[in-house]
């Protein structure tokens, strides 16, 4: 077949489109000038200011509490669910139902939760954000782990049980270790999703415990500041690192 | 694939009971959680849509269709029309850009494909507010784009790029383009290219082979991509606010305002229900089309 080299033009233009805005933010975070659009020289002072900002520090701590908590619960629930879907049911409806939280519009989920929490009279705060993040998180973990189970030979588990191992020890000595890379990848994805999630947190959080995205939202609404650039650069670095790590985990799952 | 455990476990009564217990342990917690924190909340929206609003937020427990008729008032119909137009333009642009990009990635040597796909998806996993904010830096009248154009003399006055409808479309396209490329690439990677060769060998031209073979086989994925771009575009309220400057009001902004400012929860619920409705409806259409294409496949 003839080379389709010309097709790489839209590919590279798309990469430029996707990465130039991000690159601009990162470059401007090192700008010495207080004016957001004038480059006057290299400086790290906005990073320094960032680490002294109490509102941002609190937002960061709140976000970490939610992200770590949501990751732990979503990983446990999502992994169990994925194994259950692969081994104990053939229902396509249940499979679809388990993935729905990942595709349902976030705004609809957010106000649904807000309405429910207020109906039962629950006070909102970090705990309600955490509960909300677990629901879409577990769907992502279930999706990643399900993809891995498809490649695992169930005869390993059967052999273990035939040789007299209890269901319990088969689960912890055979099932979990073979699925571990996918479980870790799923956990990493939930962590970044929760770290960056704004819409659901915006509606289900209490006023005294803003998460970092909520802090960013209120900053961005008032315009461009060099501090946001620095914060943005750090968050981009974190997300990119975590997602690439997750990708590497799922690639090592290509064992026979 | 999932059957082997079921068949091997169906031997004795004890095994059967054990299987049932395992099924409950594995499936129970996750499905229960999804029901509690997704299905029931969506059920709340559905029921609130049919209730009367209470003066300070919340609802009165009496049946009413007021919120539905209110959604038909000209003000809201125009917001809805505007939203659908913006989301549709975004989706079409994403398809026009995403299709050749996905095709190009699928035609790369295998060892480059993974890297190429990760590069497309990576921005999608980063903070949405920050990706939107980046465009303020670029589009502002003092921003990079205007400065660049001024300095090379293409324009002599800064262009009003920010706070326009075009800026909103650009922001949405930037946010959701990866969601178009991903399913398209997945389907093209699995595509049986020998079908294309067969068409060519049987005398079809390059364009004809593409239209008759490649296009129908990738149509279901294109529709999935379109849903993944269209539905979140309809519900987005951050991009219209930050890049549209409040001049472009979309359904997402209306929903947020009903819950945080106007305190008309039933009306907000009707609008949110509409978004879920779009999702369900579009997936139904997608399912129908992809089934028809598969049937055509097996007949051929």
Q: Let me know whether B80 and B212 are in one domain.
A: yes
Residue B19 lies in a domain: yes
Q: Let me know whether B240 and B122 are in one domain.
A: yes
What per-residue confidence (pLDDT) applies to A190? Answer: 95
Mean local confidence (pLDDT), B64-73: 88
pLDDT at B87 over 60: yes
Q: Let me know whether B37 and B99 are in one domain.
A: no
Q: Let me know whether B189 and B267 are in one domain.
A: yes
The total of other beta-carbon atoms located within 10 Å of residue B195's CB is 16
Q: How far is A220 from chain B (nearest CA, A)?
A: 7
The interaxial angle of helices B144-151 and B128-139, nearest 10 deg, is 30
Task: Report CB contact under 8 Å: B128, A150.
Answer: no
Query: Which of A10, A132, A213 has its CB closest to that of B101?
Result: A10
| pTM, to two decimals | 0.89
> Which residues of B fall within a CB distance of 8 Å from A100?
34, 38
Q: How far is A95 from chain B (nearest CA, A)?
A: 10
Higher pLDDT, B137 or B19: B137
Task: Report CB contact under 8 Å: B29, A81.
Answer: yes
CATH assignment at residue B235 = 1.10.3720.10
Whole-angstrom distance, CA of residue A16 vs CA of residue B130? 17
Whole-angstrom distance, CA of residue B161 vs CA of residue A37? 15
Tens of pLDDT, residues B261-284: 878 899 999 999 998 999 999 999
Whole-angstrom distance, CA of residue A173 vs CA of residue A150? 19
Q: Let me know whether B25 and B172 are in one domain.
A: no
What per-residue confidence (pLDDT) applies to A80? Answer: 94
Q: Let me know whether B139 and B174 are in one domain.
A: yes
Tens of pLDDT, residues B158-176: 888 888 999 999 999 999 9
Q: Let me know whether B137 and B40 are in one domain.
A: no
What per-residue confidence (pLDDT) applies to A223? Answer: 74
Tens of pLDDT, residues B116-136: 999 999 998 888 999 999 998
What per-residue confidence (pLDDT) applies to A18? Answer: 95
ipTM score assigned to the predicted complex = 0.90
Tens of pLDDT, residues A238-254: 999 999 998 888 775 44
Below-50 pLDDT ranges, chain A: 1-2, 253-256
What per-residue confidence (pLDDT) applies to B99? Answer: 95
Residue B55 lies in a domain: no
Please name the helix (run of DSSP H) or strand (run of DSSP E) that holds residue B60, with its range, or none: strand B59-63
Q: Let me know whether B28 and B93 are in one domain.
A: no
Q: Does any CB of chain A come closer than 8 Å to the CB of residue B151?
A: no
Q: How many residues does chain B have?
A: 300
Domains and CATH numbers, chain A: 53-251 (1.10.3720.10)
Q: Does any CB of chain A come closer than 8 Å to the CB of residue B180?
A: no
> Which residues of A fall within a CB distance of 8 Å from B7?
none
pLDDT band at B210 (very low <50, low <70, confident <90, very high): confident
What per-residue confidence (pLDDT) applies to B4? Answer: 43
What per-residue confidence (pLDDT) applies to A256? Answer: 34
Mean local confidence (pLDDT), B242-271: 89
Residue B285 lies in a domain: yes
Q: How far is A49 from chain B (nearest CA, A)?
A: 19
Q: Let me know whether B165 and B282 are in one domain.
A: yes
Q: How far is A58 from chain B (nearest CA, A)?
A: 18
Residue B58 lies in a domain: no
Residue B128 has which token pair? 């949405």
Higher pLDDT, A112 or B141: A112
Please name the helix (run of DSSP H) or strand (run of DSSP E) that holds residue B63, with its range, or none: strand B59-63
Q: Let me know whether B107 and B255 are in one domain.
A: yes
Residue B204 lies in a domain: yes
- Write out the residue range of the structural domain in which residue B133 sits: 67-299
Residue B191 has which token pair? 């595509």
Widest CA span in chain B: 85
C-alpha of B76 from chain center: 22
Ramachandran area for residue B248 (φ above 0: left; ψ -120 to 50: alpha; else beta)? beta
What per-residue confidence (pLDDT) applies to A1? Answer: 44
Query: Which of A24, A94, A112 has its CB closest to that of B44?
Result: A112
pLDDT band at B297 (very low <50, low <70, confident <90, very high): low
Interface residue of B29, B102, B129 to substitute, partner A, most A CBs within 10 Å: B129
Residue B62 lies in a domain: no
Q: Let me know whether B10 and B108 are in one domain.
A: no
> Which residues of B fall within a CB distance of 8 Å from A239?
125-127
pLDDT band at B209 (very low <50, low <70, confident <90, very high): confident
Residue B84 lies in a domain: yes
- Count how many domains chain B has: 2
The interaxial angle of helices B13-34 and A92-103, nearest 10 deg, is 20
Please name the helix (run of DSSP H) or strand (run of DSSP E) that holds residue B53, with its range, or none: strand B51-53
Q: Let me know whether B26 and B114 are in one domain.
A: no
Residue B251 lies in a domain: yes
Whole-angstrom distance, CA of residue B300 vs CA of residue B281? 29
> Which residues of B fall within a CB distance of 8 Å from A109?
38, 41-42
């Amino acid at each position: 077949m003839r080379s389709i080299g010309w097709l790489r033009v839209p590919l590279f233009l798309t990469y430029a489109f996707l990465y130039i805005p991000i690159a601009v933010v990162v470059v401007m975070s090192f700008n010495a000038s207080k004016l957001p659009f004038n480059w006057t020289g290299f400086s790290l002072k906005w990073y320094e200011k960032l680490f002294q900002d109490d509102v941002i520090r609190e937002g960061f701590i709140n976000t970490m509490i939610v992200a770590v908590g949501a990751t732990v619960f979503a990983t446990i629930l999502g992994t169990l669910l994925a194994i259950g879907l692969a081994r104990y049911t053939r229902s396509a409806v249940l499979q679809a139902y388990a993935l729905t939280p990942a595709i349902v519009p976030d705004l609809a989920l957010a106000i649904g939760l807000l309405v429910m929490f207020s109906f039962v009279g629950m006070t909102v705060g970090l705990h309600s954000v955490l509960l909300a993040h677990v629901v879409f998180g577990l769907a992502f973990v279930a999706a990643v782990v399900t993809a891995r189970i498809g490649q695992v030979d169930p005869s390993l588990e059967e052999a273990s049980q035939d040789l007299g191992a209890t269901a319990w020890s088969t689960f912890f000595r055979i099932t979990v270790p073979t699925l571990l890379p996918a479980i870790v990848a799923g956990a990493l994805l939930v962590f970044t999703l929760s770290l960056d999630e704004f819409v659901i947190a915006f509606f289900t959080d209490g006023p005294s415990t803003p998460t970092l995205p909520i802090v960013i939202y209120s900053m961005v609404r008032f315009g461009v500041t060099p501090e946001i650039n620095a914060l943005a650069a750090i968050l981009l670095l974190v997300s990119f690192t975590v997602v690439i790590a997750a990708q590497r985990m799922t690639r090592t799952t290509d064992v026979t | 694939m999932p059957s082997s455990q079921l068949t091997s476990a169906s031997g004795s009564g004890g095994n059967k009971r054990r299987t049932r217990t395992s099924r409950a342990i594995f499936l129970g917690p996750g499905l229960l959680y999804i029901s509690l924190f997704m299905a029931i909340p969506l059920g709340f929206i559905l029921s609130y849509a049919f209730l009367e609003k209470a003066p300070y937020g919340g609802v009165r427990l009496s049946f009413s269709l007021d919120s539905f008729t209110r959604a038909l008032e000209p003000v809201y119909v125009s917001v809805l029309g505007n939203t659908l137009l913006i989301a549709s333009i975004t989706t079409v642009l994403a398809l026009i850009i995403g299709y050749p990009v996905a095709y190009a990635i699928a035609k790369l040597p295998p060892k480059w494909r993974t890297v190429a796909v990760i590069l497309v998806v990576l921005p999608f996993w980063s903070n949405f507010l920050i990706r939107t904010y980046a465009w303020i830096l670029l589009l502002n009248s003092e921003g990079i784009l205007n400065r660049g154009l001024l300095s090379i003399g293409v324009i002599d006055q800064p262009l009003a790029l920010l706070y326009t409808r075009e800026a909103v479309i650009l922001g949405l396209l930037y946010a959701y383009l990866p969601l178009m490329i991903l399913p398209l690439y997945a389907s093209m990677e699995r595509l049986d290219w020998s079908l294309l060769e067969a068409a060519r060998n049987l005398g079809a031209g390059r364009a004809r082979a593409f239209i008759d073979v490649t296009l129908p086989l990738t149509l279901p994925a294109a529709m999935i991509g379109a849903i993944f771009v269209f539905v979140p575009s309809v519900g987005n309220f951050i991009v219209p606010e930050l890049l549209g400057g409040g001049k472009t009001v979309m359904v997402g902004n209306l929903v947020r305002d009903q819950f945080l400012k106007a305190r008309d929860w039933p009306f907000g619920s009707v609008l949110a229900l509409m978004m879920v409705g779009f999702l369900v409806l579009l997936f139904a259409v997608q399912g129908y089309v992809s089934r028809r294409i598969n049937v055509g496949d097996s007949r051929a």
